[in-house]
A and B are shown apart, each in its own frame.
Chain A
Amino acid sequence: MSTNTAYYIPHKAVWPVLATGGLMIMLAGFANYLNGSSIGSGMMLTGFSVFILMLGAWFSLQATESESGMYNHGVGISYRMGMMWFIFSEVMFFAVFFGALWYARNISIPALGEIELTGPGRSTHNTLWPAFEAIWPTNGPGNVGGHFEPMGAFGLPLLNTLLLLTSGVTCTWAHHGLLAKNREQLIKGLAATVALGFIFVACQALEYHEAYSEMGLTLGSGIYGSTFFMLTGFHGFHVCVGAIILSVVLFRSWKGHFSPENHFAFEAAAWYWHFVDVVWLGLFIFVYLL
Chain B
Amino acid sequence: MTAVVAEHDDHHDHHDHGPEKGILRWIITTNHKDIGTMYLVFALIMFFVGGTMALIIRSELFEPGLQFVDPQFFNSMTTMHALVMVFGAVMPAFVGLANWMIPMMIGAPDMALPRMNNMSFWMLVAGVLLLAATLFMEGGAPAGGWTLYPPLVLQTGKALPFAIFSVHMLGISSIMGAINVIATIFNMRAPGMTLMKMPLFVWTWLITAFLLIAIMPVFAGAVTMLLTDRFFDTSFFNAAGGGDPVLYQHIFWFFGHPEVYVMILPTFGVASTIIPVFARKPLFGYASMVYATAAIAFLSFIVWAHHMFTVGLPIAGELYFMYATMLIAIPTGVKVFNWTATMWKGEMTFETPMLFSIAFVVLFTMGGFTGLMMSVAPADFQYHDTYFIVAHFHYTLVPASVFILMASGYYWLPKWTGNMYDERIGRLHFWLSAISVNILFFPQHFLGLAGMPRRIPDYAIQFADWNMVSSIGAFIYGFSQLLFVYIVIDTIRGGTGKATAEVWEDASKHGLEWTVPSPAPYHTFTTPPEIIPTEHV
Contacts and interface: CB of A to CB of B under 8 A. Distances in A.
B216 A89 contact: yes
B6 interface: yes
A191 interface: no
Given A31-B161, A86-B175, A96-B222, A104 B244 contact: yes
Nearest to B166: A27
Interface string A194-234: 00000000000000000000000011101111110110000
Contacts of B20: 12
B454 interface: no
Interface string A9-22: 11111111101110
B31 interface: yes
Contacts of B235: 139-140, 144, 220, 222-223, 225-226
Interface in A1-41: 4-17, 19-21, 23-24, 27-28, 30-31, 34-35
User: Which of B109, B118, B225, B234 has the largest count of A CB atoms less than 10 A from its CB?
Assistant: B234
A256 interface: no
Nearest to A125: B239
B233 A145 contact: yes
B22 interface: no
Nearest to B255: A96
Contacts of A58: 115
A282 interface: no
A81 interface: yes
Contact of B179 (A8, A82, A104, A224): A82
Given A86-B179, A120-B246, A17 B122 contact: yes
A99 interface: yes
Interface stretch (A107-115, A152-160, A266-274): A107-115
A144 B175 CA distance: 36
A33 to B, nearest CB: 9
Contacts of A28: 130, 133, 162, 165
Interface string A110-143: 0110000011100010001000000000111110
Contacts of B110: 9
B240 A140 contact: yes
Interface stretch (B182-190, B399-407, B467-475, B498-506): B182-190
A81 B187 contact: yes
Given A35-B161, A92-B213, A118-B314, A74 B232 contact: no
Give chain A's interface residue range (CB within 8 Å of chain B).
Answer: 35 or more
B225 A14 contact: no
A140 B243 contact: yes
Contacts of A222: 235, 241-243
Given A96-B217, A142-B240, A7 B7 contact: yes
A275 B125 CA distance: 31
Contact of B221 (A6, A97, A108, A225): A97
B7 A141 contact: no
A9 B218 CA distance: 32
Given A17-B122, A92-B213, A139-B241, A24 B130 contact: yes
B217 A108 contact: no
B15 interface: no
A30 B116 CA distance: 25
Contacts of B231: 34
Interface residues of B, number: 81
Nearest to A136: B242
Contacts of A230: 224-225, 228, 234
B113 A78 contact: yes
Contacts of A96: 217-218, 221-222, 225, 251
Interface string B285-311: 000000000000000000000000001
A104 B213 contact: no
A219 B30 contact: no
A20 B130 CA distance: 13
A147 B133 CA distance: 41
B112 interface: yes
Contact of A142 (B10, B222, B241): B241
A120 B250 CA distance: 15
Given A78-B113, A219-B228, A17 B165 contact: no
A104 B312 contact: no
B119 A16 contact: yes
Contacts of A180: none
Nearest to A61: B115
Contact of A95 (B218, B227, B236): B218
Interface in A53-90: 58, 73-74, 77-79, 81-82, 85-86, 88-90
A15 B115 contact: yes
B243 A226 contact: yes
Contacts of B246: 108, 120
A251 interface: no
B354 interface: no
Interface in B309-338: 311-312, 314
A5 B220 CA distance: 40
Interface in A228-285: 229-230
B318 to A, nearest CB: 12
Given A27-B165, A89-B216, A17 B243 contact: no
A107 B314 CA distance: 11
Contacts of A226: 228, 234-236, 241, 243
Given A7-B4, A20-B126, A93-B221, A139 B114 contact: no
Interface in B127-183: 129-130, 133, 158, 161-162, 164-165, 168-169, 175, 178-180, 182-183
Contacts of B225: 96, 100, 230
Given A31-B165, A92-B217, A100-B247, A13 B236 contact: no
Closest 6 pairs (CB-CB, A-B)? A142-B240, A96-B221, A140-B242, A6-B7, A220-B233, A223-B242
24 contacts: A10-B9, A10-B114, A10-B115, A11-B9, A11-B114, A12-B28, A17-B119, A20-B126, A24-B129, A34-B231, A82-B116, A82-B180, A92-B217, A128-B239, A139-B241, A141-B242, A219-B233, A222-B241, A222-B242, A222-B243, A223-B243, A226-B241, A227-B236, A230-B228
Interface of B: 2, 4-10, 17, 20, 27-31, 109-110, 112-116, 118-119, 122-123, 125-126, 129-130, 133, 158, 161-162, 164-165, 168-169, 175, 178-180, 182-184, 186-188, 213-218, 220-222, 224-225, 227-228, 231-236, 238-244, 246-247, 250-251, 311-312, 314
